[in-house]
Structure 1
Amino acid sequence: MADAHLYEVALTLLPGIGGQLTRLLVSYCGSPKAVLEAPPGKLQKIPGIGPKSLRAVTDGARQALLEAEKIIRQAEELQVKLLFYTSEDYPDRLKQVADAPTLLYFKGKADLNQQHIVSMVGTRKPTAYGQAVTERIVEELKQHHVMVVSGLAYGIDIVSHRAALQHGLPTVGVIASGQDIIYPSAHSRYADKMMERGGILTESPFGTKPDAHRFPARNRIIAGMSDCTIVVEAAMKSGTLITADIAHSYDREVMAVPGNITSSVSEGTNYLLKTNKAAVYTSVQDLVELLNWDLAHKQSQKQQNLTLFNQDEFSADELKILKVLQQSQEEQMDNLSWKAQVPVSQLASLLLSLEFKGVVKALPGKRFSLLA
């Protein structure tokens, strides 16, 4: 496992090789180790790999592996889990997002793939109304066993985390710094308590400071790893509205709490509602109806039965493909490769086999879906 982590971490340290290109390389080569050990001739044949990317891999591999060793040692010392996007513990909801981080640093005990996950975001300077509403929402979420995700910042973020701790709900703080730098430091005591059932999550390597430009990137993780983002109070120009926009771009649900029309921190939430960019939140029943949680148990049981039935009829790789198609309805071939963690070289024959078995159909543009 340590050897696998070495190549996974090293791959994320190559200059100029972003998340999408990393997934493409792994899909074609089969593993991070195979990417870093591949001859230039093989890498050149991969679509999207130009001279600059080729040099980054071939010339940067040795230094990246040395740096990766240091990161792995530090992760072990601080009890931080390294979650490459192919890990079973990597958040599945986030994995479906095109610009998802390739590697996450996680410390804690939370199940990042539990059934219900909600993000809570809002202003750093909430009113008494905003604080009270946030606490009420979290209390209402308890009956549905929800994990609460936020950004550990001042305001609505820390009120959400604190309320989750009070009501025994797992809560995860997504930070813009490295795991060794909790920001703001005043919230370190809450971060420590969150480790018991929740945790702290970041894409930033150790030693990374919480510079301003890292927060919008942090916000995409908050939006991408949850079923719904609830906005409590927000000004018109704020990081909170950026998070709401990101959630929209990911086709995730957004809800907003109506606010006082004379309050500046209600302008953003009321704008989201007025422009139909968010559904209204007045009680937990609004959330249950929006996300069809009342049907979730039946659907979960149905999918579980289907998976159990399939295990006798399909290979392990075929089951991976079917699981992805169950979740996203249809997928383009390259996306299907990295989401199912099946190399492109094997994917075509597996899809053909599934077509012959009558469970998958091919669509125009190299897209595939399950047969109804």
Structure 2
Amino acid sequence: MTAESKYIMALSYVKGLGSKSVKKLLQNFDSAEEIWKLSNKGKNSIVGLNLGIAEQIGSAEIWNLVERELEISNKYAIKISTWGDVTYPKMLQECVDAPPVVFQKGNINLEHGKFVAVVGTRKMTARGKEFVHELIKDLRNQPITIVSGLALGVDAEAHKAAIENDLQTIGVLAHGLNQIYPKSNEKIGIEMQEKGGLFTEFSSFHMPEAVNFLRRNRIIAGLCHATIVVESAIAGGAMSTATHANNYNRDVFAVPGRVTDVTSMGCHYLIKNHKAFLLTEANDLLKYLNIAPKKERKSLQKELFVDLTAIEQKVYNLLRSHGKKHIDFLAIESGMASYQLMPILLDLELKNLVEPLPGKFYDIV
């Protein structure tokens, strides 16, 4: 670890100084070391910096915590990365609220293809469990890393399925890496470190508190190119992961279920409100990630027999004439708002005429 990284780490330990504030300070000073060594006069000159925070910057107490953390990390073979390090995940660093410091354990290859989050309820159904295993089995031999939260239910099954199919898998924890919670998943947490590992923004001094689990969800979304919600209630934790992914402009998928199932209501909400693409099989994901080859284009004669509404035909003709286009282009050309276009594009997708692509682009099949 560089000296600068230690100072960034020290700033991250200051209570009341969030990641956005640390980033703002670094934009106004030459280095974290300069900030840490500011005189009282220098700290008082920073607009918006209250006395409580100012007193912590440069304190021996916090510096001792940093030194202690380095000792613990060395003991447990934990790797520490800060903003700008080559070992800091690029996808996560793109996020506006990316943490200044992250911790890794195991053999994580950050350059291994596409990272995909598979998340959902702790109280998963037998159908949900079967779907997770079938989905990940169908991703075998693909350049994909499965990311989840090592919780009970969907998370644990996603990690298990990844291990069974020799895919790299990463568990994002809501506490320090000197422990694994829940204890029932300790065996999985150890196994996954052979090909993948554990990841967190929390130091060894953080316990698995409820508030940390919601914070953890943004890290899952931030690491990934896409997020899949398998099963979730309307207020499930996986819904917050989907929200973060949408905010980061990453693709979100949801698996449909029976309309009466509480564990599918969150997924239906995401699909119905155009916050997620419908996913029923691995190929739906692979197309978005540009991994699987496109299906052969249908012949015009076959297309003529598909029953389309006037507006569906208009949108379809736009894509036939112009090829792959962003939804904003289609909105302008059709004279409709994007939110009005989404259900039309979904209907065309279900009729196997149109396919959605990453970044809200569309093309004909």
Offset of residue 78 of structure 1: 0.6
Q: How far apart are the structure 2 equivalents of 1:114 and 1:242?
A: 26
After TM superposition, the structure 1 = structure 2 runs for residues 228-267 of structure 1, keeping only pairs within 5 Å, are 228-267=226-265
Alignment gaps of 5+ in structure 1: 296-372
Residue in structure 2 matching 1:98, options 85, 89, 96: 96
Structure 2 residue 36 is matched with structure 1 residue 36: yes
- Other-structure match for 2:19: 19
Unaligned stretches of 5+ residues in structure 2: 294-365
- CA–CA separation in structure 2 for the residues paired with 1:3 and 1:228: 35
Q: Could you list the per-position Cα deviations for residues 265-309 of structure 1 after superposition, in whole angstroms to 9, with x for gaps in the alignment?
A: 1111122112211101122221122233469xxxxxxxxxxxxxx
One-letter identity of the residue aligned with 1:28 = N
Query: What's the CA shift for 1:49?
Result: 4.6
Aligned letter for 1:21?
Answer: S
3-state SS of the aligned residue for 1:139? helix
Task: Give yes or no for contact 1:5–1:72 (8 Å, CA) kept in 2.
Answer: no
SS of residue paired to 1:108: strand
Distance in 1 separating the partners of 2:206 and 2:120: 24
Match of 2:219 among 218, 221, 236: 221
Deviation at 1:247, TM superposition (A): 1.1
Give identity over the alignment, percent. Answer: 33
Per-residue deviation, residues 140-186 of structure 1 (Å, max 9, x unmatched): 22232101000000111000000000111110101111112211001
Map 1:22-171 onto structure 2 (within 5 A). Answer: 22-40=22-40, 48-52=47-51, 55-56=54-55, 58=57, 60-171=58-169
Alpha-carbon distance in 1 for matches of 2:55, 2:48: 10
Report the structure, 1 or 2, having the larger helix content: 1
Q: Is the Cα contact below 8 Å between 2:16 and 2:53 reproduced in 1?
A: no
For 1:7, the aligned partner's letter is Y
SS at match of 1:135: helix
1:277 aligns with 275
In the superposition, the TM-score normalised over structure 1's length comes to: 0.74
Between the aligned partners of 2:53 and 2:255, the Cα distance in structure 1 is: 49
Deviation per CA, 1:300-356: give whole Å up to 9, x if none: xxxxxxxxxxxxxxxxxxxxxxxxxxxxxxxxxxxxxxxxxxxxxxxxxxxxxxxxx
Letter in 1 for 2:8: E
* CA shift in 2, pair 1:154/1:122, >3 Å: same
Distance 2:39 2:111 in 1: 37
Between Structure 1 and Structure 2, how many residues are aligned? 293
Match of 1:195 among 193, 196, 199: 193
Q: Distance in 1 between matches of 2:211 and 2:66?
A: 24
Residue 53 of structure 1, CA deviation: 7.2
The 2-side partners of 1:42 and 1:294 are apart by 56
Q: Is the 8 A contact 1:15 1:56 kept in 2?
A: no
Post-superposition offset of 1:109? 0.9
**Separation in structure 1 between the aligned mates of residue 127 and residue 36 of structure 2, nearest angstrom:** 54
- Deviation of 1:137 after TM superposition, in Å, equals 1.4
User: For the residues of structure 1 that align with 2:237 and 2:17, how far apart are their CA atoms?
Assistant: 27
- TM-score by length of structure 2 reads 0.75
In 1, Cα distance between equivalents of 2:251 and 2:41: 45
SS at match of 1:213: helix
Question: CA offsets per residue over residues 97-150 of structure 1, 9 Å max, x none?
Answer: 111111111111112343300000011111111111111111222232101000
Secondary structure at 1:143's aligned position in 2?
Answer: coil
Distance across 1 between alignment mates of 2:231 and 2:218: 19
Provide the rounded CA distance (Å) in 1 between the counterparts of 2:192 and 2:31.
33
SS at match of 1:144: coil
